Amino acid sequence: ENSPAPLPERAIYGFALFLGSWFGFILYLIWAYVPETWLFSLGLTYWPQKYWAVALPVYLLVSVGIGYILLFGINMMSTAPLNSTHTITDNFAKKQQQKKFQEEAIPALRDIPISEVNRMFFLPEK
């Protein structure tokens, strides 16, 4: 079954990813710092422009920063306005079926209309 326990396969995957990410990082540092002439003399002439070694991280960080603001804005836009019926009910509540009341049984779960809830909370019981 599915359990989060450590397994031999998971250890191997983890180690492979560990080596792969270190290799990628060292490769990125070589690309960014080694002068172009040295790379040409080694025969590596078709690597991308060093401009991207700075541009890509900056793009990434700016999009992370914008993402915070964007998520905040999307949340505010999706919130129902105060005059919408979505603050009171929804499709599930409108189509719910009334179960019959049985003596000495726990009443069935249902969506209570807001008028009834208000009467219970705010009008004192006589």
Window contacting other proteins (CB under 8 A); options: 39-47, 51-59, 83-91, 104-112: 83-91
Under the binding rule (CB under 8 A), the answer on residue 64 touching other proteins is: no
- The answer to whether 39 and 47 have CB atoms below 8 angstroms apart is yes
CB atoms within 10 A of CB 31: 15
Beta strands (DSSP E) in the chain are none
Which alpha helices (H) appear in 34-88, and where do they start and end? Answer: 36-41, 51-78
Least distance in angstroms from the C-beta of 76 to other proteins? 8
Q: Which is nearer to other proteins, 67 or 113 (CB)?
A: 113
* Contact flag: residue 106 with other proteins (CB under 8 A): no
Q: Should residue 98 be labelled a site residue for other proteins when binding is judged by CB under 8 A?
A: no
Rounded CA separation 15/8 (Å):
11
Q: Does 80 bind other proteins (CB under 8 A)?
A: yes
Of 69, 76, 77, 105, the residue at the interface with other proteins (CB under 8 A) is 76
CA distance 109 to 104: 15
Q: Which is nearer to other proteins, 94 or 100 (CB)?
A: 94
CA pair distance 68, 74, nearest whole angstrom: 10
Binding site for other proteins (CB under 8 A): 76, 79-80, 82-85, 87-89, 94, 113-115, 118-119, 122-123
